[in-house]
Structure 1
Amino acid sequence: MAGPVIDNRCRTTNLPWIIDGGTLSTRFNIPHVRLLNDLEATAYGLPFLRLDELVVLNAGTPPQTKQALALIAAGTGLGESILYWDGTRYRPMPSEGGHTDFAPNSDSEIELLRHLRGSYLHVSYERVVSGPGLHAVYEYLRDTKKNEPTWLAEKIKAGNPAAEIAEAGLKGQADIAKQALDLFASIYGAEAGNLALKGLTLDGVFVAGGIAPKILPKLQDGSFMRGFTNKGRYKRLMTQIPVKVVTNDKTALLGAASVAAQLMGSMAP
């Protein structure tokens, strides 16, 4: 569920839906239905990933004693989770961290925030670090720098804005698209670093979601990690945290299947 699950019930964030596990159980005659936040499900799936489904952005030097992991995932929205080590395995804690206040970290980002406040009463990280967020970053540059090529404007209007911007930026076809990707990747990295600091997730940070695999060359060029490590006196600590991109787009399903298997095991006679 893309939204907070409370008492096995979810009011979805971007749709006018209320989903209730008990109601689903009764309606479809399923003995037990457990709702999972989408990032919580992804977090449960992390242990089942193969090494070839992870791309290392920063090898880091994790501690010998296991502590905590972080998961951040930008797609249509921005999801975040912290996983703590319970002595046996990592247990995910769902969150709605993507809806925390966007905090600019440069003059350009301050201007971006001012631009976005013209459209939103509350500017969260999700308004910037997501598919719609990449489009919003692009529109800020378009409106302030006036350097949008006509051909790109037409492609964005006719297709998926974020996908068109990413493609043009990665191929170096338009400066404005490249600038949008640079700014997006830096802010993405900064928020991943914020999450790592808040949870002191020294065991590592996983970057999942639909966007990361599609802009992997940009994440690998240093833009993301510069944003991640730019934490003043804690820069040295940040460089020690492993950072990996998840390329398996079925990770949430792996996690949901894992939880379902545990539920079935607990109900077995």
Structure 2
Amino acid sequence: MSAGFPWLVADIGGSNARFGWVAAAGAVVEHVQVLAVADHAGPAAAARAYLAALAQRLGAAYAAPHGAAFAVATALDGGDRVELTNGHWSFSRDAVQGELGLDVLLVLNDFEALALSLPRLHGHQLRRWPGPAEAAPDAVLAVIGPGTGLGVAGVVRAAHGWLALPGEGGHATLAPADAFESELLNHVRRDYEHVSAERLLSGIGLPLLHRAVVAVQGASAEPLSAEAIVEQGLAGVDPLAVRTLDAFCALLGGFAGNVALTLGARGGVYIGGGIVPRLGERFFASRFRERFEAKGRFRGYLQAIPTLLITDTMAALDGAAQAIEQHGA
């Protein structure tokens, strides 16, 4: 069943829910608003708050949405019940659709939506790591994103558009590449039987990575939040926070290279999420790209794959709109 306009789109993470509006066919996502997940009981309540504010803003031009696509930060099994991996929201798809009076409600993984946005991203939404030439336009694309958690997805050209390949790659085992990283992971394994990539390469993981760096360095330091680690590391005022960011970027590069090899992402690996864009020049001066390519006999394969930072934090909303558009095609 296709949905008439307007459409409501949302990108729902563990900390924030971003809502946007698609007024008509071919229209861009507009009237974007970010709501704190902690401030609302669930997606229906947050959507009602967004729509009430939008109705007040648009006045007579407002119309209730007919369709919606919610991109959510969790694994989906096709069932009615949805529970956020790193948030308190738990909801029924059918109940939310009924509460909002929607003809169609799509619920998709947040990185599935971000992957669908990749072929539509433009230069002003990206910052490219200097290096390889432009890749073929129809090659497989991959995206990783350290935010509250760590998302991974791919997208491939299909007969009727682009097909997203959602997964839970952030929970794959994290691999060290040198003695220092082996010591870091050995320290973390004292408390966690399985050290996934998300365990260290995410907003929830940065404090744990910092604690491991402190321990391996034989130092003592007060625990820091992810926010404080980024701020103090970028300012250069705390050598241990600086070392933590260095380790974060290097480990992320090795992980991104693994994703590129696994998916055959010759079209490029994109980096999304809320953490890396904040690192700015420090990210581009880090060992990320060095470690991305450091795969032995497949160094040449990876050297030809571009890596691009997504600077537009609202890109997943466009992917959600793409999902509902393809649903009605």
The residue number in structure 2 matching 1:5 is 76
The residue number in structure 2 matching 1:186 is 250
The residue number in structure 2 matching 1:86 is 158
Structure 2 matches for 1:139-218, cutoff 5 A? Answer: 139-147=211-219, 153=222, 156=224, 161-218=225-282
Distance 1:34 1:224 in 2: 35
Amino acid at match of 1:128: L
Amino acid at match of 1:207: I
Distance 1:174 1:16 in 2: 33
Unaligned segments of structure 2, at least 5 residues: 1-71
Given that 2:86 and 2:148 are in contact with CA atoms closer than 8 Å, whether structure 1 keeps it comes out as: no
Distance 2:193 2:252 in 1: 21
The residue number in structure 2 matching 1:104 is 176
Given that 2:272 and 2:311 are in contact with CA atoms closer than 8 Å, whether structure 1 keeps it comes out as: yes
Given that 1:141 and 1:180 are in contact with CA atoms closer than 8 Å, whether structure 2 keeps it comes out as: yes
- SS of 1:102's partner is coil
TM-score, reference length from structure 2 = 0.72
Given that 1:44 and 1:91 are in contact with CA atoms closer than 8 Å, whether structure 2 keeps it comes out as: yes
Aligned residues: 257
Which protein is richer in helix relative to its size? Answer: 1
Given that 1:38 and 1:252 are in contact with CA atoms closer than 8 Å, whether structure 2 keeps it comes out as: yes
Q: 1:24 aligns with which of 96, 100, 119?
A: 96
Distance 2:74 2:289 in 1: 28
- SS of 1:61's partner is coil
Distance 1:235 1:108 in 2: 22
Does 196-205 or 174-183 show the bigger shift?
A: 174-183
Deviation at 1:261, TM superposition (A): 3.6
Given that 2:249 and 2:286 are in contact with CA atoms closer than 8 Å, whether structure 1 keeps it comes out as: no
1:257 aligns with 2:321: yes
Amino acid at match of 2:142: A
Q: 1:221 aligns with which of 273, 279, 285?
A: 285
Q: 2:200 aligns with which of 110, 113, 128?
A: 128
Distance 1:88 1:7 in 2: 22
TM-score, reference length from structure 1 = 0.88
Aligned sequence identity (%): 32
Deviation at 1:5, TM superposition (A): 1.6
Distance 1:218 1:255 in 2: 28
Unaligned segments of structure 1, at least 5 residues: none
Deviation at 1:142, TM superposition (A): 1.5
Deviation at 1:87, TM superposition (A): 5.0
The residue number in structure 2 matching 1:72 is 144
Distance 2:216 2:257 in 1: 28
Which protein is richer in strand relative to its size? Answer: 2
1:242 aligns with 2:306: yes
Distance 2:228 2:156 in 1: 38
